[in-house]
Structure 1
């Protein structure tokens, strides 16, 4: 296997791992009622499984980054996948509620603490600076493909066993076995390189330096806004259904296209464009401008069914655009020139801020709709998304200017040292 082939095969395994490893913790999104019946739990208890998982995740992003810089990803990635799979075998026995909570706590550690920043660092180190956009773009697209294919496979297994608790057990076992297989493949594909800084043990001193970098916080704001906008776009479908009288079945179909189809193409497309432009940050800056303009159309176009086709096209275009941004918004870390020895810590820090919307954004949007029923509530959501896009644009503009300034100053420093 050539080095180039090995690189893309490794990226494929990492991408599929990144999409599949979260299927078990988020099983409720696919099998809500079957889970209630199999585990004998109510709505609140099922919600608590995700609450405990989400809360612990929040506190593990940064420590997980430190771990990624301390230990080799050749060990951490397979460990995360295999342990998640093994725990899935136990989960398939439908343990008591308190034990199900314990399993979700374990999954928080195996999917975030030992996996998420480590996976991002492993992807970063697969290629040169000129490839970062494509690597992260194809990572996001691959994660979407993995989640989609595995979800359909699990659903087929569930139905094949009569859509009963036995079928749910089969679906869980399918995810578990797939994770273990991916973990074994990752072990043999990932290298075991470690830099001198990684072996020095000065990680906590280094993380202080990382947190002092304004560029890191600007990158985190970009992810925060992009992630929030993507969450807000999920409300376009009910908007078209409620206000433009689009049928529920068409809405469900459009939702699938937006959630899965556009993600599969958006990430790779954004990566290719970003690499051709020579800067992911530059592309993200332009992308936010386009998002602002397209989102403005949602606030301007009257809520008349005759405009439904225009609104559908606009939704699909802006959704694709957001997915292209989302696919590459981890790529600027290479442009910031964070050393590989601290890449994990940096990814942990920006993930901590970037995914903070998970703790409040849907509640915020829901309150807007409840307090402003009908069209006004949706308009407020779209205005909120415009504000977020403006903030994202300003953060990417400032980051781009900082990086451009660093590039112009670097030769001057070299010349002064030479003289």
Structure 2
């Protein structure tokens, strides 16, 4: 994880030089390698190890709540640095002045990421008393066998479907501000504030859902979260929300956000319940993520097509109908996951 942070920071330094469009495209792929390929599975496994047998919910709840808090803090930090370094008011500043101020925003963020990497090496160390069946260096054959072993687990396939359906809902949160502006008639500032306020909700939901998941079961909370998402999505899809129904709009936004953000905690806290061996956690996370996060590829174009073909409220209704369908599929998968892992008593992995 530390190595991936160092490489990510190097990418930030390159970005501060204002590369060409081709350079930015390559940088985007490079960051995909440093943050997803190198970092993601290792972070999930480290969180699972930290959570132990009985604290998976709160471990992943704190992880996602913390991610939301850090995203919020970095956003405001960037704005603060930019405003301090900008010589004149932004309305009268030249492009060169704005570029110079933004360069330092990127460089300072890269420095912070580097320091976090150093801190990670110092603070997060392997527990010498913890026994693990996973060797530090494994052969290519063992890697292949791990993939075969993971693919034989029904819980892995169900989690692929669950995360794909849940992440579809997360991607739809990108249009909340647009909905507020184009359908509800909010001005740009008030519409943008909705997205910022939802970040605060994400932090609270992450911790609460994590505690509830530890008290009950992650699969049960996933079933409830999908049900909540379906209710909120159908209120949008059936056209109950209009420009004058401000209270209903706010209530429904919070309802959908609650269902969607709950999964940011539940995604991988369910790995323990699914009885996926600790030794192949990284492999399982990689395969699950490969399918589960495909909405990053298709949701943007899908929403764009629906909104372009049906301008106004109708297009948004179609988007939320799509969300309701995905949530229904996810609800079925979550129920099957719950049934599958209820047949046997939990066992130490």
Please say whether Structure 1 and Structure 2 have the same fold, judged by a TM-score greater than 0.5.
yes
1:196 to 133, 152, 155: 133
**1:208 aligns to 2:142 (yes or no):** no
CA contact (8 A) 2:225 2:258 kept: no
Give the C-alpha shift of residue 385 in structure 1.
0.9
Distance 1:228 1:92, change over 3 A: same
Counterpart Cα distance in 2 of 1:286 and 1:303: 23
Corresponding position: 1:269 with 2:208: yes
1:407 is matched with 345
* Superimposed CA distance per residue, residues 303-349 of structure 1 (whole angstroms, 9 cap, x where no aligned partner): 53332221112212321232122222111111112222100000111
Quote how far apart the aligned CAs of 1:99 are. 4.1
Q: 1:96 Cα shift?
A: 4.5
1:172 match: 106
Partner of residue 282, structure 1: 220
Distance (Å, rounded) in 2 between the aligned partners of 1:294 and 1:98: 41
Instruction: Rate the CA distance shift 1:102–1:238 in 2: closer, same or farther, 3 A.
Output: closer
What is residue 42 of structure 1 aligned with on the other side? none
For residue 118 of structure 2, what is the aligned residue in structure 1? Answer: 184
Instruction: Name whichever of 159-168 and 326-335 sits farther off.
Output: 159-168
C-alpha distance in 2 between matches for 1:265 and 1:402: 30
Structure-1 residue corresponding to 2:93: none
Residue ranges of structure 1 left out of the alignment (5+ in a row): 1-76, 411-419
Contact 2:53 2:272 survives alignment (8 Å)? yes
Instruction: Specify which structure has the higher proportion of helix.
Output: 1
**Post-superposition offset of 1:242:** 2.6
> Any gaps of 5 or more consecutive residues in structure 2?
87-96
Q: Distance in 2 between matches of 1:395 and 1:204?
A: 27
1:368–1:380 contact (8 Å) kept in structure 2: yes
Deviation, structure 1 residue 105: 3.6
Pick one of 279, 282, 306 that aligns with 1:368: 306
TM-score by length of 2: 0.88
1:230 equivalent in alignment to 2:170: yes
Do the aligned partners of 1:133 and 1:274 also contact (CA within 8 Å) in 2? Answer: yes
Q: CA deviation at 1:101?
A: 4.0
Look up the match of 2:94. Answer: none
Deviation at 1:358, TM superposition (A): 0.7
Distance 1:302 1:127 in 2: 42
Residue by residue over 1:174-199, the C-alpha shift from the partner in whole angstroms, topping out at 9 and shown as x without a partner, is 11111111001111122235733334
Classify the secondary structure of the residue corresponding to 2:344. Answer: helix
Q: Distance in 2 between matches of 1:128 and 1:293?
A: 34
Q: Note if contact 1:137-1:271 (Cα within 8 Å) is conserved in structure 2.
A: yes
Which residue of structure 1 aligns with residue 92 of structure 2?
none
Residues 1:366 and 1:95: Cα distance change in structure 2 (over 3 Å): closer
Q: Cα distance 1:321–1:80, how it changes in 2: closer, same or farther (>3 A)?
A: same
How big is the alpha-carbon RMSD for the aligned residues of Structure 1 and Structure 2? 2.1
CA contact (8 A) 1:243 1:303 kept: no
Change (3 A) 1:377 1:124: same
**Number of positions where the alignment pairs a residue of Structure 1 with one of Structure 2:** 332
User: Is 1:380 matched up with 2:318?
Assistant: yes
Partner in structure 2 of residue 218 of structure 1: 158
Comparing 121-130 with 88-97, which one deviates more in the overlay?
A: 88-97
Note if contact 1:132-1:334 (Cα within 8 Å) is conserved in structure 2.
Answer: yes
- 2:38 corresponds, among 114, 124, 143, to 114
SS at match of 1:306: coil
User: CA–CA distance in 1 between the matches of 2:19 and 2:194?
Assistant: 37
Quote how far apart the aligned CAs of 1:375 are. Answer: 2.2
Contact 2:239–2:317 (CA under 8 A) maintained in structure 1: no
4+ long deviations beyond 6 Å: none
1:115, CA displacement in angstroms?
0.6
